[in-house]
Chain A
């Protein structure tokens, strides 16, 4: 049950003696469900004089899985990092769950906790075991008791197929295993949105599918996902929409089959033809 449903139920229970209240709560709920989880409007991001994002507009609906593709340097990572506010934006707006992104302090940390991020380089904490990597933030940020955090972490590790690796350090795991631990670590914060920034680009070919399988499963369970990827098979089969970025803008977005079979822009055609010739 998603957090929106829970919020709705609690409003509904509080107001259950009043029909108007219940009706109002339903309206609030429906309205909330109708608004996208993420709204990016005319976002610009400059590093010094260089503009990495030049007016990006993007909506991500609740439960939607969006693939973000494009050439290296087109601004895909920067967009992801702006959405969880690892980078500040130069102009434009980003709202998450109807609220503008907080600027600093506790609210910002809470926002980041609601957005899970999986990095190309895994970025596991090398001085903690797989289990500790997963329990750390729930204990220190969500203030969960150790026993509860452990139990949940073991469930998550089982979900990514790593029950037997709980007590291993990252250096003792393969790349694919490390990335799956990283996914479990992000999920442990119960995020509303998962950002994947080229999660399989640093992996040996034989390990790519074990990570993509975990991601597909997550997609099937209804997680909202933004996935930067060069795995076109994944974009086609697990995603609802493909956004193509070029030079800091989203040039084209379409349903995966439409995008791959019938790209509209010259730049998308060019990008896809280069992919096919590899």
Chain B
């Protein structure tokens, strides 16, 4: 037992860096995926056919390629075309690409829950497609999307562990390195599992809180 405590104490800052890297991958990955996923969802519901085609192709590609394949292609493929990105950012990029395909579908189904009457009323008032989306459709759609977005967040969090396989020093990668040195697989991976668990539970709590916030507001009763 003492040996384990000793190991943890000796490698505290190493482990902490791993945790922070996982947090960074997940948060940057989620924020990027949310932005790009929303844009792609807008493409997919736009009246312009080429945009819809591009949006659909994007989703079908990035949703159906394994994240690990994507990460390997980014880490080993991009340098071949002259793009040398730091490993951490390769991880973020992979998570953004894969995450945005899933978030796009969340946003698109959120948009589809809003009745067509809303966009017709907006169009009848002379609002452009962009104004309609920004002021009428998306604000209402996001209210219905809180829980599905929490799922997307957890997907990105758990997916971030695959970045370990291409050498990003996240918590999974760090525990694997320590395991090689100390051969304490169970303890170490229980520890890294706990990090993911705590982080995911926290995200769930924040999600419930956000959902409560929108549904207890006076506007919530309107739908």
| Segment at the B interface, from A26-34, A44-52, A108-116, A242-250 | A108-116
A260 interface contact, C-beta 8 A: no
Min Cβ gap A90→B in Å is 18
Whether B222 contacts A189 by the Cβ 8 Å rule is no
Known: A127-B219, A136-B135. A121 touches B117 (CB 8 A): yes
**A96-115, CB < 8 A from B:** 109-115
Residues of chain B lying within 8 A (CB to CB) of residue A169 = 218-219, 221-222
Q: A119 contacts B120, CB within 8 Å?
A: yes
Contact B126 A137 (CB under 8 A): yes
Q: B123 and A113: CB pair below 8 A?
A: no
Bound Cα distance from A170 to B218, whole angstroms = 10
Q: Say yes or no: is B181 at the interface (Cβ < 8 Å to chain A).
A: no
- When chains A and B are docked, how far (Å) is the Cα of A109 from the Cα of B122? 10
Q: Which residues of B contact A119 (CB under 8 A)?
A: 117, 120-121
Q: Which residues of B contact A86 (CB under 8 A)?
A: 120, 123-124
- Name B125's contact: one of A121, A127, A170, A185 (CB within 8 Å): A185
Whole-angstrom CA separation of A140 from B127 in the bound complex: 8
Task: Say whether B69 faces chain A, with CB atoms less than 8 Å apart.
Answer: no
Residues of chain B in range 103-130 having any CB-CB distance to chain A below 8 Å: 115, 117-118, 120-128
Question: Which of A112, A121, A124 sits near B123, CB closer than 8 Å?
Answer: A112
B127 touches A137 (CB 8 A): yes
B172 within 8 A of A: no
| A141/B219 contact (C-beta < 8 A), A123-B120, A125-B136, A126-B140 known | no
Contact flags A179-201 to B (C-beta < 8 A → 1, else 0):
00010011001000000000000
Q: Which residues of A contact B222 (CB under 8 A)?
A: 126-127, 169-171
Determine if A66 is an interface residue (Cβ-Cβ < 8 Å).
no
Nearest B-chain residue to A185, judged by Cβ: B125
Beta-carbon contact of B120 and A112 below 8 Å: no
**Residues on the A chain within 8 Å of B123, using CB:** 86, 112
**B125, B126, B219 interface centre (most CB from chain A within 10 Å):** B125
Closest to B132 in A: A140
Q: A126-B222, A169-B219, A172-B218 are in contact. Are A113 and B126 (CB under 8 A)?
A: yes
- Compute how far the CA of A141 lies from the CA of B123 in the bound complex, rounded to whole angstroms: 11
Q: Does A84 contact B (CB under 8 A)?
A: yes
B131 within 8 A of A: yes
Q: List 12 A-B contacts (CB under 8 A).
A: A110-B126, A111-B126, A112-B123, A124-B121, A127-B139, A127-B143, A137-B126, A140-B135, A141-B125, A141-B131, A169-B218, A169-B219
